[in-house]
Structure 1
Amino acid sequence: MKTILLLAFAVLVSSTPVENRDKKLLAELIDELEREVKNFSNDTTEIFLEELEMNGCKGEFFCQAEQELKDKVSGRSGAKFEHFRTDKKLMRNLNEYNKRHMKTCKPADKDQEILIHEFLEKLLTCAKSAYRQPK
């Protein structure tokens, strides 16, 4: 009986840090995205990214978003793009979240593009939605 109780407790305790880590990653991601949405809100730079299917903001959405940002934004120079470098908090957290939730990720469909501001707003909406979901 003691063994069963210890095993049950171990399973309960071991699952809690993962949920807390996900919440922390998402909270930091939300903070970074809110800053970038404000940064690009009045921007006239026309940077287009593929419009992603939100589909309930499942894991693949975040994976495709990371790929789009890496491919089209993170290599750009200038202060406006500094936060999109792969060694910065926004991209690190997005990458870490994807490592925890996705094994593989199919590329985004290349049928419609949207401005970076709209792209970031959708990513922010999904991050907030994932943050609010109970685990």
Structure 2
Amino acid sequence: MKTILLLAFAVLVSSTPVENRDKKLLAELIDELEREVKNFSNDTTEIFLEELEMNGCKGEFFCQAEHELKENVSLWSGAKFEHFRTDKKLMRNLNEYNKRHVKTCKPADKDKEILLLVFLEKLLTCAKSAYKRANC
């Protein structure tokens, strides 16, 4: 009986930090995305990425977003692209979130392209939505 109680307590305690880590990752991701949306809102540079299906902002969306940013923005040089490098907070948090939530990720369909700013705004919307779900 004691073993069962200890096991139940261990499961209960171990599930709480995961939710807290998710909320922290998402909060940091939201902060970084808000900064980047502000930076690119007055930008005239036309950088296009594949438009992703939001589909309720499930894990695959974040995985595809990470892939698009890595393939099309992380490699650019210059101060305004600095935050998209894979060793920076925005990309690290996106990668960490994906490690925890996505088992497989198929590439985005190459149907329609959107501006980087619109892409970031959609990613920010999904990050906020996932953050609210993590608070439940």
TM-score, L = length of structure 1 = 0.98
Deviation at 1:11, TM superposition (A): 0.2
Partner residue, 1:124: 124
Query: 1:41 and 1:64 mapped to 2: Cα distance?
Result: 22
Number of aligned positions between the proteins: 135
DSSP 3-state at the match of 2:114: strand
Partner residue, 2:89: 89
1:23-42 per-residue CA deviation (whole Å, 9 max, x = no partner) reads 10000000000000000001
Partner residue, 1:42: 42
Could you list the runs of 4 or more consecutive aligned residues of structure 1 that deviate by over 2 angstroms after TM superposition?
A: none
Equivalent AA in structure 1 for residue 82 of structure 2: E
Equivalent AA in structure 1 for residue 117 of structure 2: H
Deviation at 1:116, TM superposition (A): 0.3
1:34-85 per-residue CA deviation (whole Å, 9 max, x = no partner) reads 0000000011000000000000000000000000000000000000000000
Partner residue, 1:52: 52
Deviation at 1:20, TM superposition (A): 0.7
Percent of aligned positions with the same letter in both sequences? 90
How large is the RMSD of aligned CA atoms in angstroms?
0.8
DSSP 3-state at the match of 2:81: helix
Partner residue, 2:108: 108
Equivalent AA in structure 1 for residue 101 of structure 2: H
- Of 44-53 and 3-12, more deviation after overlay is shown by 3-12
Structure 2 unaligned blocks of 5 or more = none
Partner residue, 1:80: 80
Query: 1:115 and 1:91 mapped to 2: Cα distance?
Result: 19
Partner residue, 2:6: 6
Query: 2:45 and 2:130 mapped to 1: Cα distance?
Result: 29
DSSP 3-state at the match of 1:45: coil
